[in-house]
Structure 1
Amino acid sequence: MKKIAVVLAGNGVYDGSEIHEATLTLLAIARKGAQYQCFAPNVDQAHVVNHLTGEEMPEKRNVLVEAARIARGDIKPLSEYKAKDFDAIVFPGGFGAAKNLCTFAFDGENCTVNPDVEKAVRETVTAEKPIGALCISPVILAKVLGDVKVTIGQDEGTLQSIEKMGGVHEITSHGQIVTDKKYKVVTTPCYMLEASIDQIADGAENVVGKILEMA
């Protein structure tokens, strides 16, 4: 049975992993007969957002601890990830991917990437194993890999930043995927577009299906 690592960035669209994208990715993996193991970096969130009001809250939360809510406690620090133990790795989206896994939300193309995230990406590429990325998370791959072909949908500002980091962007719509054969990277836009939950499910299923095919 193939095994996929899923990297979470917290819990909740505004300061962590987008819960629909994360959960539907896990569901797609299970429905396609594979196993998953969740990971997250053991670091503080960039900030905490009240998801009812959209306002920042005066408190600190840990990315790994918050992501454990989605993983039902079955989660490991990303520092423990080893590409040799998995057939592929997937990064769901949500602002946490651009705030906690990297600083793209604050710094754009001048962002930095969490060391454990960068190590996981590079190790997976070196092992010639597939990487999936949903929503905003392809910006991480553009920053780490440079000349990688990805999609975040149609957002002009974000695609320009991807190209400034050396990436190649393809415009896509709901559920569509873009595959970079050189790096074995598969991406889909999800909530970077005005999407419904069933369209998110389509994107997650298509990414998971393609990386399992490539694994």
Structure 2
Amino acid sequence: MTKKVAVILSGCGVYDGSEIHESSAVMVHLSRAGVQYVVFAPNIEQMHVVDHVKGQPTEEKRNVLTESARIARGNITDLKDLKVSEYDALVIPGGFGVAKNLSSWAVKGKDCSVIKAVEETMKAFHASRKPMGLCCISPVLAARLIPGCEVTVGCDTECEKWPYAGTAGAIKELGCKHINKEVNEVHVDTKNKLVTTCAFMSDSPVHEVFHGVGEMVTALLRLL
């Protein structure tokens, strides 16, 4: 029987939504593996809209579901309609939308809240012993919701290659274990059925990120 995976997006664009290359990589690797995937997003307003040329917020308003539909080629479903019983696994690509729209991590860090629809979905997958794949910044959602879990967001020592290494420290402060991994590697928390990889938390070429996301998808499917 064909496996079925739910993918949750958080908008369209690295600075205020889902990271497009990561999202595309997830879909390509799932498709290549012969897995059926369905894309979801919450029907909420974005925290803000960022001009991706200037890197600055604008006064514009955008909707997370509507923007995510750009990546999903219009084939998208409201997150409130996701039924965990119908899926074998969950994947959440990264991008600042995870930290701004799916949670308040961008503002509150480890003291953040996760929006109700995402929290309920992740906890339901976890309770059902169904695996989750999280890349880039999205492992912080697991760190916030699953006590004592193990994840990676890359390296815990900041340098030119690892500009967001401080995130690893926040994960440790939440009582979770951070595992240092390179962009082409994943960490598998077998107890909690979590597969994580750093993606663009590293300043790495896009093809290396694409490969790392592929490793995440492969490891995720092994847990099914």
Which TM-score applies when normalising by structure 2? 0.94
The alignment's C-alpha RMSD in Å is: 0.8
Amino acid at match of 2:126: V
2:188 corresponds, among 179, 187, 191, to 179
CA contact (8 A) 2:12 2:20 kept: yes
- Map of 1:34 onto structure 2: 35
Structure 1 residue ranges (4+ consecutive) displaced by more than 2 angstroms after TM superposition? none
Q: Deviations over 1:145-174 (max 9, x none)?
A: 121100000143111111111211001111
1:61 aligns with 2:62: yes
3-state SS of paired residue (1:171):
coil
Q: C-alpha deviations, 1:76-120, integer Å up to 9, x for none?
A: 111111211111000100000111111111110010001000011
How many pairs does the alignment contain?
215
Amino acid at match of 1:189: C
Structure 1: 5+ residue stretches without partners: none
Corresponding residue for residue 18 of structure 2: 17
SS at match of 1:191: helix
2:160 equivalent in structure 1: none
SS at match of 2:130: coil
Identical counterparts, % of pairs? 42
* Aligned position for 1:193: 202
Distance 1:33 1:213 in 2: 13
**1:133 aligned to 2:134?**
yes
- Can you give the 5+ residue segments of structure 2 that lack an aligned partner in the other structure? 156-163
Tell me the TM-score normalized by structure 1: 0.98
Q: Render the CA deviation track for 1:22-49: whole Å, top value 9, x for unaligned.
A: 0010000000111110001111101000
| 1:205 matches 2:214 | yes
1:113 aligned partner: 114
Distance in 2 separating the partners of 1:79 and 1:166: 30
Which sits farther off after the overlay, 13-22 or 52-61? Answer: 52-61
